[in-house]
Structure 1
Amino acid sequence: MRQTWRWFGPQDRVGIKDMLQAGVEGVVSALHHIPTGDIWSPEEIAARQQLIACKKDGTPSGLAWEVVESLPVSEDIKQQMGNWRTHIENYKQSMQHLADAGIKIICYNFMPVLDWTRTDLTYRLPSGATCMRFDLIDFAAFDLFILERAGAHEDFPDDVIEEAKGRFERLDDAGRELLVGSIIYGLPGDAEAPSMANVRANLAQYDNISQEQLRSHFVAFLEEVAPVAQTLGMRLCCHPDDPPFGLLGLPRIMSTEADYKYMMDAVDIPANGITLCSGSLGARPDNDLPGMMKRLGDRVHFLHLRNVALESDAIKGSFYESEHLGGHVNMVALMQAALDEEARRKVEGRDDWSIPMRPDHGLDILDDQKRKAQPGYPAIGRLKGLAELRGIMAALLSL
């Protein structure tokens, strides 16, 4: 597995020197400043490559931009509204420019409105480390009594509604503002200035789009872009829903193994593949991550390795992001399955036999708590996770 590291660009508080000291082999990045739906130009791509290739003193870093995360899919494409056809053509053009620059792997997601959802970005563990957490009761309090979404009462059992009502009533204004800010952080474009009006407007766009319709829109998108990726020698890899269950009345179509199988069968070419995110999929207790790697591994183009501690056996339940070796996912079994897939590919002579992986998220520990990096992306916590993953890999390869 090729060891990579996500970098958000020049504004990221974890920089090139940190990546070098962590000993990573490649960089995962994206042009977040370009509006969704616009074309990524050769000049913008080259500028990002240059930033990654050089240290601050101008000497070579030895690193390269190897994986795009993400080339975002616009809401117009997901809804098949407005400029969706133009946005698909722009997506193809961006793929062409990335391929011309030598970048061949694109991670993306098809989640409506949300990129991810947590209710606490700095949940404190007994060790003093902090992490991100999804608390079902807090989320229900937001949905029912702050957002006041129509139909929300139908999405939660009576005991959850009752507990959420009490939780909401105990929150003061500062607590409610903190909860809203944590949840809104996963809404693209709203992180800086949370607005209930914006959230309601975004959600309303999906009032008449069912799960089946969203899935058909996804297939239509793949039918356009996956053949282009195949021709360009690129690999597209869809990230799962995070968390992998329904929220805010929005349709979810990438939460289970069956969802991935449907997507791969609908457009059955090698370029149409998977980002297997053990943390996102692992937040649902019925997802078997090692089994998914064994059964779907032929089309796994990218690995996100992190872990979650589940707080119930419910499909839709509370969880927090744990140490890489300390949660619900059997990380040793998952990595063994990934190494087995790499060995199989190598025997077949596949150019893509080495699957890029990155230590996904990490606990904020030590000086991370002063640095205030992107939530989930501390320097030391990720390095600790990467060290643990390296240890597993070294042990398994020595057997």
Structure 2
Amino acid sequence: MIESWRWYGEYDTIALSEVAQTGAREIVTALHDIPYGEVWQIDAIAARKAQIQNAGFEWNVVESLPVHERIKRGEGDLAQLFANYRQSMANLAAEGIKTICYNFMPLLDWTRTDLAAPVSTGATCLRFDAVKMAAFEINILGRRAAEDDYPEDVRQRAVAWFQKSTATERDNLLAAIMAGLPGAFERFDVAGLRNVLESYKHIDREALRANYRRFLQEVVPTAEELGMRLCVHQDDPPRDILGLPRIVSNGADLDWVLDAYDSPANGVTLCAGSLGANPDNDVPAIAAKVAERIHFVHLRNVRKDPNGSFEEADHLGGDTDMVALVRVILQEEARRRDIGRSDHEIPFRPDHGHHMLSDLARDLIPGYPLIGRLRGLSELRGVIRALSY
């Protein structure tokens, strides 16, 4: 398994010289300053690659080449957006970058209600609190249909939280939810979020699937021609939210994705944390079923509450059997090696991590600390080494 590290380029306060001390071999990144839908020019790709190589790393996985919201909505003439996506793929391939992680989540890349929830050690973590989310949807956003999305006890506690909350607490809740909006180009206030959600009001699960199938039909043939691999990230959290349908949340959804365009170029970014937030998901079993199409792996763990809340746990300390999951990945690598594939190693990265120690005083991207991910990488490295004997 290839140790990698997600890095946000010019938006990241963690320097590549610090990442070098983690022992990671590769950097996973993107051109985060380019607005969605525009072409990634080859000179910009080459400059980022040179920056990474000069720091002693390789860049083989893009995370992410984003899918424009109009494509997700199937809105208007999409020919130019698809052409731009394919051109960006070609430009990446010209620089030797052949794996593209992406998602098909409407509007939000991920959703949390707390960016610095305390844990018992004195560190902090990302948390999704079902009560706060219900309060936001029902009492702040005013989405009355949300009442059907939460059980009665959660709704009652949501009302109590809202009535006791201060303006600052409500603002902080909105800021935490907006932190999941992709890119650096727009954040919404409550009125703005209501407006943008209106653009999805006619998009149900089947409509989103139809738009996703069209995306695959438009781009997977290009990936095949270029020798590239596309790998979809699972929904985070793996449930409908804000009235938006989620269609990549469990094993059955992944089966649909892989069948929608049956090609080795149409694959999976296996995210242990996203899948693990759904109590019905057996993450190692799902990984074993789609193993041949796993092109990239995110290893993190979550601890779930009965009411639908969850928070980031230690990499080896959450609800998912991480040792069993790593064993599945190693077995797939061995299968690929046995059939003669020179690219049998699967890149992974320690995903998220607790903010701890000196990181608590640093201005870091939520969920992407230095020390917490280093701890996770070290623990995972030990599991991989032990299972490799």
TM-score normalised to structure 1 length: 0.95
Residue ranges of structure 2 left out of the alignment (5+ in a row):
none
SS across alignment from 2:388 = helix
For 1:153, the aligned partner's letter is E
C-alpha displacement of 1:158 = 2.0
For 1:135, the aligned partner's letter is D
Return the alpha-carbon distance in structure 2 between the equivalents of residues 77 and 49 of structure 1.
28
Is residue 332 of structure 1 aligned with residue 323 of structure 2?
yes
SS across alignment from 2:380 = helix
Return the alpha-carbon distance in structure 1 between the equivalents of residues 373 and 387 of structure 2.
21
Verify the 8 A CA contact 1:77 1:85 in the aligned structure 2: no
Verify the 8 A CA contact 2:127 2:312 in the aligned structure 1: yes
2:161 to 142, 167, 172: 167
Aligned-residue Cα RMSD (Å) equals 1.2
Q: Which residue of 1 aligns with 2:366?
A: 375
Q: Which residue of 1 aligns with 2:19?
A: 19
For 1:156, the aligned partner's letter is Y
2:345 to 339, 342, 354: 354
For 2:255, the aligned partner's letter is K
Q: Which residue of 1 aligns with 2:309?
A: 318
Return the alpha-carbon distance in structure 2 between the equivalents of residues 176 and 390 of structure 1.
40
Q: Which residue of 2 aligns with 1:288?
A: 282
Q: Which residue of 2 aligns with 1:204?
A: 198
C-alpha displacement of 1:64 = 1.8
Superimposed CA distance per residue, residues 77-124 of structure 1 (whole angstroms, 9 cap, x where no aligned partner): 111113522111100000000000000000000000111000000001
Q: Which residue of 2 aligns with 1:58?
A: none
Verify the 8 A CA contact 1:363 1:376 in the aligned structure 2: yes
Alignment of 1:211-250 (within 5 A): 211-250=205-244
Return the alpha-carbon distance in structure 2 between the equivalents of residues 117 and 335 of structure 1.
26
For 2:298, the aligned partner's letter is H
Q: Which residue of 1 aligns with 2:6?
A: 6
Return the alpha-carbon distance in structure 2 between the equivalents of residues 190 and 171 of structure 1.
28
SS across alignment from 1:24 = coil
For 1:35, the aligned partner's letter is P
Return the alpha-carbon distance in structure 2 between the equivalents of residues 262 and 161 of structure 1.
33
C-alpha displacement of 1:266 = 1.4
**Runs of 4+ residues over 6 Å off in structure 1:** none
For 2:41, the aligned partner's letter is S
For 1:380, the aligned partner's letter is I
Alignment of 1:95-114 (within 5 A): 95-114=89-108
C-alpha displacement of 1:154 = 2.0
Return the alpha-carbon distance in structure 1 between the equivalents of residues 109 and 21 of structure 2.
29
Q: Percent identity over the alignment? A: 50
Return the alpha-carbon distance in structure 2 between the equivalents of residues 53 and 338 of structure 1.
27
Superimposed CA distance per residue, residues 36-95 of structure 1 (whole angstroms, 9 cap, x where no aligned partner): 0000000110111122122xxxxxx22121110000000011111135221111000000
Count of aligned residue pairs for this structure pair: 389
Q: Which residue of 1 aligns with 2:385?
A: 394
Q: Which residue of 1 aligns with 2:46?
A: 46
CA 1:251/1:158 → structure 2, altered by over 3 Å: closer, same or farther? Answer: same
Is residue 82 of structure 1 aligned with residue 76 of structure 2?
yes
Alignment of 1:246-325 (within 5 A): 246-312=240-306, 317-325=308-316
Return the alpha-carbon distance in structure 2 between the equivalents of residues 239 and 85 of structure 1.
24
Residue ranges of structure 1 left out of the alignment (5+ in a row):
55-60
Return the alpha-carbon distance in structure 1 between the equivalents of residues 240 and 43 of structure 2.
39
Q: Which residue of 2 aligns with 1:343?
A: 334
For 2:30, the aligned partner's letter is A
Superimposed CA distance per residue, residues 5-33 of structure 1 (whole angstroms, 9 cap, x where no aligned partner): 00000231111111110011101000111
C-alpha displacement of 1:223 = 0.9
For 2:132, the aligned partner's letter is D
SS across alignment from 1:151 = helix
Verify the 8 A CA contact 2:33 2:184 in the aligned structure 1: no
SS across alignment from 2:82 = helix
SS across alignment from 1:10 = helix
Verify the 8 A CA contact 2:135 2:159 in the aligned structure 1: yes
SS across alignment from 2:115 = strand
Return the alpha-carbon distance in structure 2 between the equivalents of residues 379 and 262 of structure 1.
36
Q: Which residue of 1 aligns with 2:61?
A: 67
Is residue 146 of structure 1 aligned with residue 147 of structure 2?
no
Q: Which residue of 2 aligns with 1:57?
A: none
Verify the 8 A CA contact 2:138 2:147 in the aligned structure 1: yes
Return the alpha-carbon distance in structure 2 between the equivalents of residues 113 and 192 of structure 1.
11
Return the alpha-carbon distance in structure 1 between the equivalents of residues 117 and 185 of structure 2.
18
